[in-house]
Structure 1
Amino acid sequence: MAERRYRALLFANWEFPQDPAELQTLHGPPTDVTLLREALTDPDLGLHLPTEVDVMENANRAEMHMRLEDFLMSGRGDEQLLVYYSGHGKRTLAMDLRFCARDTDTKRLSATSLSAREVDQLLESSPAGAKVLILDCCFAGSFRTKGRQDLSDSFPGRGFGLLAGTQRGTPAPDADLPGEPSPFTRYLVEALRGGAADSDGDGFVSFDDVYNYVFERTRGPVRPSRDFQGTGVLKLARSRARPGGATGRAESAAPRGAALNVQAAATLVLESLRHERAGQHWAAREPLRRVADGEPGDWGALAALRLAALSLADDDQQAATDALSRVVAAGHPQWSPEAGYRLGLCLSRVGDEPGAERALRTALGYDHPHWSPLAAWALAGMLRGRGNVEAALRCYRQAVSSPGPPAVAAALEFGDFLVQEGNLQVARSVYRRAALAGDPDLSHVAVQRLRALLSRLGCHTAAAGVPNTEAGTR
C-alpha cells in the first residue's frame, strides 16, 4: 500500500474593510492559523511537511474560491487534504452559511462571500482519498454535506470529516485579546500537539480523538460538532507514545519524549521566549513542553517550571499541576522548593488537601530561604483550618524564622492566631519582631497591632511608648 500524503490549506480572515460596522476586526484568526500550522508541521507529532501546508490571510472572495478549487481538484487517491477556515461566518435569510472574505459586504452577502454549498461541491468533486474540513466561525455547525457515495475501502481512513467549532445556529467566540487564539482553535491545537489520547493505541491521534478532546474542554452553550462520512479512521497527528518506538516521518516519528541534547533544549527555550515576548502564551508553551518531556536534567526542570508559570497565567490548572509535579520529582535544590510551594497552592485550590500538604512539606524540607518559609506559612493556614492547633503553631514558627516580607506577613497572621488562642504574651513577642523588621508595607501594621495588644493587657504606658517605624510615619 502506498504511503499517505498529507496536505493542508488554511484560511484566516480578520480584516473586513468593506463592511466594518457589521464585520468587526477579529483578534483570533492571525494567531489561530499560526498555531495550527505549527501543530500540523510539528517535527515530532505533525503529519504534514512544512512545504505541504499553505496559508491564505485576508483573501478576497475570488481568491478564496480559486485557491480552494485548485487545492481540492489537485488531490489524489493516496492523499488526505485538510481545509481550515477562521473568520466571520454569516447566514443568509435562507439560512445558508457563508464564509466572509476581505471584500465581503453583508448587504451583498451572496455575491461577496464564499458559500458552504460551493465548498461542499468542491469537496465532493475532489479526487483526494480523504478530506477534512475544520471551521472556526459563527454558525459552523450549520455546514451540511451531501451523502458521499462510492467510498472504497482500499485505503484506510477514506471519506470526509467535518469538525466545526459550534453546533448548528450557534455563534462562535473570538479570542479575548490580540495574540491569543480563539477558544476552539486553542483546544484543537492542544489536541494535535499531544493533548488528545490515542484511543485505539495505534500511535496516531484520530479525527474522533481530536473531537473528543475539544468537546470535553469546551463549556457553556458553544460546543463543537462533527460529521464523518467514510470508512476507517482519519489520522490527524501522531500520538506522544507510539507502539514499538518506531521513528521516521512516514506515518511515525521520534517520540515527543525522545532525549534532547543541550543545544536542542536551549534552542527550544529561546523559541518559547520569542513567543512569550510577542504575547503568544499558547505558542510559548509547546517548546517548553517538548524540553520538559525530552530533557531529564536541569533544562527539563527549568522548562517545566516556566511551563507551569505560563499555564497558571492562562488559568490551565491541570497543565500547571502536571508541570510542577515534574519539577518536584526532579529534586533540584533551587527549583523544586518553588515548585513544591506552587504545586501545594494549586492542589489546595482544587480541594486536594492531602496532595497539597505533601507538596508543601516537600518544599519545607529543602530549607530554602525563600520558598520553605512560604510553604510553612501556607501549610500553617491549612492546618489551622483543620483545627490542628499545635501543628499550625509549629509551621508558623518556621514561617517567621527567616527575614523578608513573607516572614513579616506570616508573623502578622501568626500573631492574630495567637491572640485568638489566648496566648497574648507570645503574640506580643511576634508582633514586636514584625514591627522591628523594617518592612515598608507591613511593619507599621505590626506596630498598630502591638499597641492594641498592649492596651488590652493594661500596659497603656508601654503602648504609648512603642516607637513608630519609618513605614508607620509616612
Structure 2
Amino acid sequence: MSGKSRAVLIGTSTYSDAGLPDIPQVGPGLTELSRVFTELGLVESATTVLDEPSIGALGRGLTQAMAGADDLLLVYYIGHGLVGRAHDLYLGMHDSEPGSPEFGSLSYNALRDRVLDSPATIKVVILDCCFSGRAFGTAMSAPVDELVIDGTYVLTSAPPNRVSLVLPDEPHTAFTGRLLRLLDGGIPGAGEYVTIDDVYRHLLVTMRGEGLPLPQKRSGSTADRLRIRNRATMDTADDLRDRVAAVVVRARDTTWASVVDDLADLHSRQIRLLHGEHPDVLRTFASLLFARAAAGDPAKSGELLRELILTQGAVVGFDHPDLLRTVFYTAICLGESDNGTEAIARLRTLAPMQRSYLGYEHEDTCRTQHALARYLARTGEYVEASALLEELGAIRERTLDPASPTLAVTRRDIDVVGRAVRGG
C-alpha cells in the first residue's frame, strides 16, 4: 500500500463482574493478529490495547494510535459484546456490567464516530464479541445491521441471532483462531494477493463446515477489494519441508547448535501453515529439540523428545523413519546428559529396528551404530565397540565418497578404539 496503514487491536480478557467470564484467549489472539497483519504487509504498524480499565484513556489511546493512517485503518476488537436497552452495541471492558452496559463499556457508536474521523481511504472494523458463558464455551454475540460505516468494511463473528464460541482447549476464540489460520495458511491457487472479501468467503465456508456460527460482513464503496498478501504463495508445505531438510544437512556438516534459530523459525512457519500434529511439524520439532540439546540443554530436550515419541508414534507409526530418528535423538540426549547406560540400551533396541525397516546401509542406521560404538567405548566396552566400528567402516567404505568427512571420522574412531583393544 502506498500510504500509511495502521492497525489498532483492542481486547478485554478480564472482567470484574461474575456474569462476564474472563477470556484468557484474548491476549494471545491480539499478539498473533499483530504479527500476521504486519507479516503480510497489510499494515505498517499495529498498536495493541489490552485490558485498558479507563474509557477515557482508551479513547485517547485510540486517537493516538489512529493518527497518521491515511491509506488503511484496521480496528479489531475481541471481548464480551453487550447489548444496551436501545439495542445498541457496547464493547466490554474490565468493569462492564451486563445489565447496564452503558456504564463501564465502550459504546460501538463512539468507536464508529472515532473511526469515521480518520482520513484513511479504507477503514476495516472487525468485531469478535463475546457475551456470556456456556457449558462448552463462552457465548459470543454481536448485532450486525447497525454497525455499518459508510466506506468501510465491517466483519463480525456471528449473526445477531446466534452465538460464536470459545471452544475448549483452543488457544484463540473460535472466530479469531480460524481467521488467523486462514491468513497464515493462505488460499491455495488464488494468486499472490487475495481480497478481504475472499478471506471472508473462505472463513464462512470453514466455520459452516465446523458447525460454528457464521460470520457476517457489510461493506461500503470498494473496501471489499482491499488486497492482502496470500500466504499460500509465500510458504508452501513442500518448500518448508525442503528448507528444513537443507538446514539438517547443514547441521550435520557444521554444528547442530548453529541452526537452532533457523529450525525454530521454520517450525513456527510450519505450525501456522499446517497444524501442530502434522508429520512435517513433528519432524522439524524433533530436529529443533536436538539442536537445542547441542546448544547446551540435552536433559531438557531429552525430556521433550521422550514426550514427542508418543505423539509422533500415534501420528506416523512406531516403525516410521521419523519416529526412529526421534528415538535416536533421544538416546543421544541421554548419553550427553551423563546417562550413558540408558543411551546404550535405547541404541541397542533401535539398531535392529532400523536394520529391519531401513536396511543396513541407510545412513540413519549407520549413525545409530556409530553412536552405540562410541558410548560403548566410553564405558570401556572396547571389544564390542571395535567390532561395530569395523562393520560400520566396511559399509561406509562402500557407500560414501572416499573424501567424505563422515568416512574420515569413522576411520579415526576405528583406529582409536582399535588401539584401546590392543592396549595401546
Provide the residue aligned with 2:385 in structure 1. none
CA contact 1:41–1:47 (8 Å) conserved in 2: yes
Q: Secondary structure at the match of 2:225?
A: coil
Tell me which of 27, 31, 40 is aligned to 1:30.
Answer: 27
- Give the match for residue 15 of structure 2: 16
Question: 1:370, 1:31 → 2: CA distance?
Answer: 45
**CA distance, structure 2, for counterparts of residue 108 and residue 236 of structure 1:** 39
Q: How does 1:25-104 map to 2 (within 5 A)?
A: 25-42=22-39, 45-49=40-44, 52-59=45-52, 60-72=54-66, 74-76=68-70, 79-104=71-96
Number of aligned residue pairs: give it.
Answer: 287
**1:40·1:46 contact (CA, 8 Å) conserved in 2?**
yes
Counterpart of 1:207 (choices 196, 211, 234) is 196
Give the residue type in structure 2 aligned to 1:230: S
Does the Cα contact within 8 Å between 1:240 and 1:257 map onto a contact in 2? no
Secondary structure of 2:106's match? strand
* Helix, strand or coil at the partner of 1:111: coil
Structure 2 contact 29–176 (Cα < 8 Å) conserved: yes
Q: Where do residues 451-462 of structure 1 align in structure 2 (5 Å cutoff)?
A: none
Distance 1:293 1:233 in 2: 36
Q: Is the 8 A contact 1:47 1:236 kept in 2?
A: yes
After superposition, the C-alpha distances for 1:402-452 in whole angstroms (9 at most, x for unaligned) are: xxxxxxxxxxxxxxxxxxxxxxxxxxxxxxxxxxxxxxxxxxxxxxxxxxx
Contact 1:240 1:256 in 2 (8 A): no
Q: What SS does the corresponding residue of 1:176 show, helix, strand or coil?
A: coil
Structure 2's unaligned 5+ residue stretches are 130-139, 252-256, 289-303, 328-351, 358-424
Amino acid aligned to 1:86: I
SS at match of 1:240: helix
Q: Give the match for residue 141 of structure 2.
A: 139
* Whole-angstrom CA distance in 2 between matches of 1:56 and 1:87: 12
Q: Following the alignment from structure 1 to structure 2, what is the Cα–Cα distance between the partners of residues 115 and 371? A: 68
Inter-partner Cα distance in structure 2 for 1:47 and 1:3:
11
Q: How does 1:193-272 map to 2 (within 5 A)?
A: 193=184, 195-197=185-187, 200-201=190-191, 203-218=192-207, 219-220=210-211, 222-231=213-222, 233-241=225-233, 259=243, 261=247, 266-267=260-261, 269-270=263-264
1:117 aligns with 2:119: no
RMSD, aligned CA: 4.6
- Structure 1 residue 186, shift from structure 2 partner: 0.9
Task: Tell me, yes or no, if the aligned pair for 1:5 and 1:80 is still in contact at 8 Å.
Answer: yes
Give 1:120 shift: 1.9
How many angstroms apart in 1 are the aligned matches of 2:47 and 2:103? Answer: 25
Q: What pairs with 1:126-165 in structure 2 (closer than 5 Å)? A: 126-137=118-129, 138-142=140-144, 144-146=146-148, 148=150, 159-165=151-157
Residue 233 of structure 2 aligns with an amino acid whose one-letter code is A
Give secondary structure in 2 for the equivalent of 1:189. Answer: helix
CA distance in 1, matches of 2:143, 2:189: 25
2: distance between equivalents of 1:80 and 1:222?
A: 28
TM-aligned CA deviation for residue 234 of structure 1: 0.8
In the alignment, is the contact (CA less than 8 A) between 1:35 and 1:283 conserved in 2?
no
Could you tell me which amino acid in structure 2 is paired with residue 210 of structure 1? Answer: V
Please say if 1:191 is aligned against 2:182.
Answer: yes
Distance 1:11 1:147 in 2: 18
Report the counterpart of residue 452 of structure 1 in structure 2.
Answer: none
Aligned pairs for 1:69-468 within 5 A:
69-72=63-66, 74-76=68-70, 79-137=71-129, 138-142=140-144, 144-146=146-148, 148=150, 159-177=151-169, 180-193=171-184, 195-197=185-187, 200-201=190-191, 203-218=192-207, 219-220=210-211, 222-231=213-222, 233-241=225-233, 259=243, 261=247, 266-267=260-261, 269-270=263-264, 285-286=271-272, 334=324, 368=353
Q: Is the partner of 1:87 in helix, strand or coil?
A: strand
Which residue number corresponds to residue 434 of structure 1?
A: none
Query: What do the CA deviations read for 1:145-177 (whole angstroms, capped 9, x no partner)?
Result: 4562xxxxxxxxxx4212211112323312424
**For the residues of structure 2 that align with 1:333 and 1:106, how far apart are their CA atoms?**
52
Give the Å deviation of 1:34: 1.9
Aligned AA for 1:98?
Y
The letter of the residue matching 1:170 is R
Q: Are residue 5 (structure 1) and residue 7 (structure 2) matched?
A: no
- Contact 2:186/2:233, CA 8 A, preserved across alignment: no
The one-character-per-residue Cα deviations of 1:362-407 (angstroms, maximum 9, x if unpaired) are xxxxx956996xxxxxxxxxxxxxxxxxxxxxxxxxxxxxxxxxxx
Unaligned runs of 5+ in 1: 149-158, 243-254, 274-281, 314-319, 338-366, 373-474
Contact 1:61 1:112 in 2 (8 A): yes
Distance in structure 1 (CA, Å) of the matches to 2:270 and 2:284: 16
Tell me, in whole angstroms, the C-alpha distance in 2 between the residues paired with 1:371 and 1:135.
56
1:112 Cα offset (Å): 1.7
- Cα deviation, 1:211-242, whole Å, max 9, x if unaligned, reads 12322221335111112212262123443326
Mapped contact 1:141–1:225 kept (Cα < 8 A): no
How much does 1:84 deviate? 0.9
What amino acid sits opposite 1:214 in the alignment?
L
Given that 1:165 and 1:223 are in contact with CA atoms closer than 8 Å, whether structure 2 keeps it comes out as yes
Q: Give the TM-score of the pair, scaled to structure 1.
A: 0.50
TM-score between both structures, scaled by the size of structure 2: 0.55
Checking the alignment, whether the CA contact within 8 Å between 1:173 and 1:182 is kept in structure 2 is yes
Verify the 8 A CA contact 1:293 1:300 in the aligned structure 2: no
Letter of the 1:94 counterpart: A
